[in-house]
Amino acid sequence: MTETGKKSVTYLTIGAEEAGQRLDNYLVRQCKGVPRSHLYRILRGGEVRVNKKRSTADYRVQEGDSIRLPPLRVAERPPLAEIEAAAQARVVLPILFEDAALLVIDKPAGIAVHGGSGVSFGVIETLRQQRPEARFLELAHRLDRETSGVLLIGKKRSALNKLHDMFREAGQLADKRYLMLVRGRWMNPLQQVKLPLHKYLTESGERRVRVDAGQGKPSHTVFRLLARWPRFSLLEGQLKTGRTHQLRVHLAHLGYPILGDEKYGDFALNKALQKEGLKRMALHAARMECPHPLEADKRLTLTAPLPEPLQRFIRHLDATGARDFSAEHLPEGLARPVSGNVVS
């Protein structure tokens, strides 16, 4: 470990392009290599000052704010940095939509949205390397590392702030739909799930979420049954709130864990399914409808087709055990089985 900069406090001044973002997010971007847990610790301890006063993580920095940082320690660059940079440059990030305000990609599974927590680079670092001329590229929201699908990136601070406001709206101005394969035979064509979720840290410091009636925040998901086989079901999940790991924890709590989920899933089943060809978590951000952040009269419909590995596993399920339910309207890439397999 090596200290960054001088062995003294550092003062930073917020510019116009930085204004409007949360203080914790600003610090993460400024303090590359510093663990998030350490940044939150110095925030709670009052070592970070805004205009000479203590502040909270959710404070939104304003142009002209003076930020005081204590001396920080960051990890040295890994010796394979050059090799990793070359690999980063080869990462393919399919573009679903782009204009002057935002960029929408189809994030591959297995790539984090940002570097950190043992990952040297993520989607946002890759985009910045591949587009060195871009003045501004920031994540508008997050997807878990093993989740694929629709991901929005702001290209202007004004657009990013609007997107953040939109995703915070209680009524969810953004209609987010996910596809997932789960263990078990889901029976209800439509099911509302309202279970409060609480974030906590394990003894090892890993972030987890659980259903907790006492400490949890209100969380609402709408699930629709799309297809069903003897052992598994295909669901669409519509987020009405945007809690961390909401879909994964709601389903695991109900006894229908997502296939391939290494945090909340059926670990023995996950291992067995690798031999059947499923080598990733079966969760995909398939569709998002939302207002354009800077054009009030424009609404965006953004879709990412189900990745081929998941389509291939569904074909495997059709070949090894006939569907006994198939919804009338199926997303792209989910063809109905051969006539005679469906009993509805």
Q: Which sequence positions are flagged as catalytic?
A: 144
* Chain length of the chain: 344
- As a whole number of angstroms, the distance between CA 28 and CA 35 comes to 8
Q: Cα-flanking dihedrals φ and ψ of residue 192, to 5°? A: -90, 130
| Beta bridge pairs of residue 136 | none
In the chain, alpha helices (H): 23-30, 36-44, 81-90, 123-130, 157-168, 246-254, 267-274, 308-320
Could you count the other beta carbons within 10 Å of the beta carbon of residue 268? Answer: 8
Compute the distance between CA of residue 131 and CA of residue 189 in angstroms, rounded to an integer.
44
- The half-sphere exposure of 321 on its side-chain side, counting CA atoms within 13 A, is 13
Tokens 């799930």 locate to 193
Residue with tokens 């871009």: 134
Asked if residues 101 and 155 have their Cβ atoms less than 8 Å apart, the reply is: yes
DSSP 318-334: HHHS--SEE-SS--TT-
What tokens were used for 32? 């590359």
Nearby residues of 48 by Cβ (< 8 Å), 6 or more positions away: 23, 27, 42, 55, 67, 68, 69, 70
Show the 3-state SS of 17-79. CCCCCEHHHHHHHHCCCCCHHHHHHHHHCCCCEECCEECCCCCECCCCCEEEECCCEECCCCC
Cα gap 258→254, rounded to integer Å: 11
Start-to-end C-alpha separation, the chain = 61
